[in-house]
Structure 1
Amino acid sequence: MGKLTIDHLRERVRGEVVTPQDGAYEEARKVHNAMIDRRPAVVVRCVNAGDVMAAVGFARENDLDLAVRGGAHSVPGFGTCDEGVVADLSGMRGVRVDPVRRTARAEGGATWGDFNAATHAFGLATTGGIISTTGVGGLTLGGGIGYLARGLGLSCDNLVSADVVTADGELLLVDEEQHPDLFWALRGGGGNFGAVTSFEFGLAPVRDVYGGPMLFELKDAGAVLRAFRELIADAPEQLGAFPAFQIAPPLPFIPQDRHGEPFILVVACWAGPVDEGEAALRPFHEIAPVVAEHVGPMPYPALNSAFDALVPPGLQHYWKANFVTELTDEAIEAHLRYGPRVPVVNSTVHIYPINGACHRVAPDATAFAYRDASFATVIAGMWPDAADNEANTAWVRDYYAATAPHSQEGGYVNFMADDDQDRIRVNYKGNYDRLVEVKRRYDPGNLFHLNQNIAP
């Protein structure tokens, strides 16, 4: 296989080294998106930073593709490859909380469910995603949009430091003082610059929230979107909320005769004083009659995991996305044409607000450049049957084509598909050239290229 053999690799690694000859191989090569079916030469199930260093070195020395897998949720399947090396960090899920400093350090394979479980015990949290099985690493490296973003900023805005294995196999501690250029690039630049083995975040006091989903009739969708646009523009920053098109799942709070029908939802998260939550959400109830809701006080981790069952491993995935400065009437009309056609219960469209605290960070302060965007839209096509791939992929593409003229040119890298590589420059806007310089410094050979790639 080259300069280093699999036997050499096994000698250097504490975790399991899995090859196609091993019984664990079929399970080890799986990723979240069942549309991705690749056969790596070796999967290194890392249990510490030394294992990651060994996997990176093995790929480099043998001139093999290298995929770094955290939560494995990458829609384009960047957590795997054909005939290359997978550094699987899913065995590295520890989270250590320092309640005095209000920080938490999460290992590179931790999920937001792992993170929230650890921090909630201390009444603390930081901005995570919408699904708790999402990896901390992938979400943060791309920016990190979630329920708490309007009040706390993006996940990457709360990053304090990181441990990074670079292309030369060195482990670096990076922060504002040490390797500040790399620290800047990690905050939104994706997995282009190294394998991050741990992330340290600042935390804020968030224990219980008031929120949940509210379902409205499709005939009221225009009113809901227009009212949401106005409400969220200057709402208190403790309010995180987003509209969504969604087929009603068979849940007890939804009338049984409405299961399987499409609705427009507002999913809200009030992170201020819980006793103020009902009043904070009242404006949404005044837009139109609510068909069904599951709203009330709950632990923040409960809301962050509320939709996990809709996105189990093994679905087919195809997504598209754009940033939006203003949710114009024309954009709303495009959503009203395509949103109600959401094909299955797993598929959805979310319009996340990224104003508030997100706007108080300068566009060049981190790699995440779209600080003027008010919304991040994702058309998340997810379905169980591969026989529906052509039709459902067409729905995503047609929806995207209808909304793109009313959006900014770039989109959130975490929502990009595998056919979006030509959008890299616009996705980073004014930060792209600086990112190229950092890439040249830390990965001139582009070892870390299985991502939305910034070529050196």
Structure 2
Amino acid sequence: MKLFNSEELRSTISGEVYTKEDKEYTKLKRVKNLIFDPQPVAIVNCQSEADVVQTIRYCRANEWPFTIKSTGHSASGFSSGDEKVVIDIAALNQVVVEETSKRVRVGGGANWFNVAQALTPYDLAITSGDMGGVGVGGNAQGSGMGFFVRKFGITADRICGARLINADGEVVIVSKDKHPDLLWAIRGGAGNFGVVTEFIFEAHEGGTVLAGNLYYAFDQKTIQELADYLYHAPEELNGTLSFTTFPFTDKMPEKNKNQLVIELMICFKGRQINCTEILKDLQNFKGYLFDEVKPTSYADLFPPIDPSGSTLIFNLYTSNISNSLLNELTKELRESGDPRLIAQVKVLGGNFGKVENGAMAYSHRDSRYLVILRKGFAAAEEALAANEKWKKKWGLLKGFSEGIDINFLGITQVDELNQMYKPANLKKLKQLKQKYDPTNCFSGTLNIQ
């Protein structure tokens, strides 16, 4: 490894290079999960695809490891690292809509708020993550669970092409006709094959949706019945069940304040008559308190918020929301009522489950639910001190797991490739890794070798 020469790199790019000597370094090195305090050797603020090319070539020539950052939302800290060069592509955030074909070109540094705003005038949308500040690049290459998952699948399903910078610093055009194996790989391969500077997505109808939260008194049987109802409902209905003592509402009845409740977030895109019937069904479940469901624009589902915090998280796929699973999942919530802790069940099925597991790298189509547990902490030290307890918690819940999702990985799960992919998919990913990145340059995310 040669001495890092910021001036040499700076002379070849239009962006800026920041090192520890620069006052901007401390701010730019941060990621959203503050349990990480990365100390990269430099942050390269790329302003163009050409900057990405030159930075990769410089790192390769000087034997510097690097990692890619778009918005820094990886809960597992994949967006940075110690003694690495961070290639920051946040400036590559263009969104170009091809109205006739309904194809959308999205820069690898864009976030979902950018995309939703650009698509609104066309009444289009792209099924995606459910927070506006989440980056397109990492989200799309992991899975992409959002408001339309049962109707339009995951974000990876909508990728039909890309521009990718490979390990040699070359621009590669990826499509069904050009490098189709790379197209397969980037749809779930988590950045192991290059830097995607631009995605081409197939958009779908957007416009007005019926969306919002319904609230219920906490009851495990109600959870199971709601989950089963949502799974078997028409694909136009999408829903996520959350269990929390701190719901997103200021209308909670006094007797239920600070109590554990079920918060069901729905998003419905379909005929009004079906929508009305389904809402009545949901209001008739045991323990129903009230709801804040209303027609809204798809873009309004993505407020331009971008929170940071010290967070522990893990996830698992399952097809059985059993009493045993719920007992373990909600144990701390029931005992402590900690408002910083939230458990979720994202309901799958519909068109999500109609795609073959071998169609792309992502491979969890058989599961009915994605279960997530996360907790925020006041400081990184508190979170790290609690991590041993979370390791034990994951050990207890792992027995219920049919797999895990890359986009919700906890730091206790980052090495469990066998949980992230079906065996045939992982075998193919490793073969493609040897073909396209035999020296493992792109190891800043999951390390598929």
Question: Could you state the TM-score of these two structures normalised by the residue count of structure 1?
Answer: 0.92
Amino acid of the structure 1 residue aligned with 2:307: P
Matched, 1:352 2:346: yes
SS at 1:321 equivalent: strand
Amino acid of the structure 1 residue aligned with 2:416: R
Matches within 5 A, 1:260-279: 260-274=258-272, 276-279=274-277
Residue of structure 1 in register with 2:116 after alignment? 116
C-alpha spacing 1:444/1:214, structure 2 compared with 1 (3 Å): same
Residue of structure 2 in register with 1:312 after alignment? 307
What is the root-mean-square deviation in Å for CA atoms of aligned residues?
2.2
Which of 406, 420, 424 in structure 1 is aligned with 2:413?
A: 420
Matches within 5 A, 1:29-108: 29-108=29-108
Native 8 Å contact 1:223 1:287 kept in 2:
no
Native 8 Å contact 2:187 2:362 kept in 1:
yes
Which of 207, 220, 241 in structure 2 is aligned with 1:243?
A: 241
Amino acid of the structure 2 residue aligned with 1:412: D
SS at 1:182 equivalent: helix
1:129-172 CA-to-partner distances (Å, cap 9, x unmatched) read 12111111111101111110100011001101111111110111
1:27-57 CA-to-partner distances (Å, cap 9, x unmatched) read 1111101111011111111111111112212
The structural deviation recorded for 1:257 is 7.0
Matched, 1:200 2:212: no
SS at 2:289 equivalent: strand
C-alpha spacing 1:443/1:298, structure 2 compared with 1 (3 Å): same
The structural deviation recorded for 1:396 is 4.2
Native 8 Å contact 2:391 2:412 kept in 1:
no
SS at 2:329 equivalent: helix
Aligned partners of 2:3, 2:434: CA distance in 1, in Å?
Answer: 25
Worse-matched range after superposition: 40-49 or 271-280: 271-280
C-alpha spacing 1:106/1:345, structure 2 compared with 1 (3 Å): farther
C-alpha spacing 1:160/1:386, structure 2 compared with 1 (3 Å): same
SS at 2:359 equivalent: coil
Residue of structure 2 in register with 1:135 after alignment? 135
Which of 312, 323, 327 in structure 2 is aligned with 1:333?
A: 327
The structural deviation recorded for 1:394 is 5.6
Aligned partners of 2:133, 2:440: CA distance in 1, in Å?
Answer: 29
Aligned partners of 1:210, 1:378: CA distance in 2, in Å?
Answer: 24
Aligned partners of 1:112, 1:283: CA distance in 2, in Å?
Answer: 31
Worse-matched range after superposition: 255-264 or 150-159: 255-264
Matched, 1:432 2:426: yes
Native 8 Å contact 2:220 2:323 kept in 1:
no
Worse-matched range after superposition: 202-211 or 414-423: 414-423
The structural deviation recorded for 1:3 is 7.7
C-alpha spacing 1:256/1:26, structure 2 compared with 1 (3 Å): farther
C-alpha spacing 1:46/1:321, structure 2 compared with 1 (3 Å): same
Aligned partners of 1:257, 1:168: CA distance in 2, in Å?
Answer: 62
Which of 411, 414, 437 in structure 1 is aligned with 2:404?
A: 411
Matched, 1:381 2:379: no
Matches within 5 A, 1:118-267: 118-218=118-218, 221-249=219-247, 251-255=249-253, 258-267=256-265
Aligned partners of 2:211, 2:388: CA distance in 1, in Å?
Answer: 33
C-alpha spacing 1:134/1:281, structure 2 compared with 1 (3 Å): same
The structural deviation recorded for 1:16 is 1.6
Native 8 Å contact 1:164 1:196 kept in 2:
yes
Aligned partners of 1:78, 1:419: CA distance in 2, in Å?
Answer: 14
Aligned partners of 1:320, 1:434: CA distance in 2, in Å?
Answer: 26
C-alpha spacing 1:237/1:33, structure 2 compared with 1 (3 Å): same
Worse-matched range after superposition: 333-342 or 320-329: 333-342
Amino acid of the structure 1 residue aligned with 2:279: L
Amino acid of the structure 2 residue aligned with 1:425: N
Worse-matched range after superposition: 398-407 or 196-205: 398-407
Amino acid of the structure 2 residue aligned with 1:325: S
Worse-matched range after superposition: 279-288 or 257-266: 257-266
Q: Quote the sequence identity (%).
A: 26
SS at 2:371 equivalent: strand
The structural deviation recorded for 1:350 is 1.6
Aligned partners of 1:397, 1:217: CA distance in 2, in Å?
Answer: 30
The structural deviation recorded for 1:342 is 7.3
Aligned partners of 1:106, 1:341: CA distance in 2, in Å?
Answer: 45
Aligned partners of 1:370, 1:125: CA distance in 2, in Å?
Answer: 23
1:2-43 CA-to-partner distances (Å, cap 9, x unmatched) read 287322211111112111111211111111011110111111
Where structure 2 has 5 or more consecutive residues not aligned to the other structure, the ranges are none
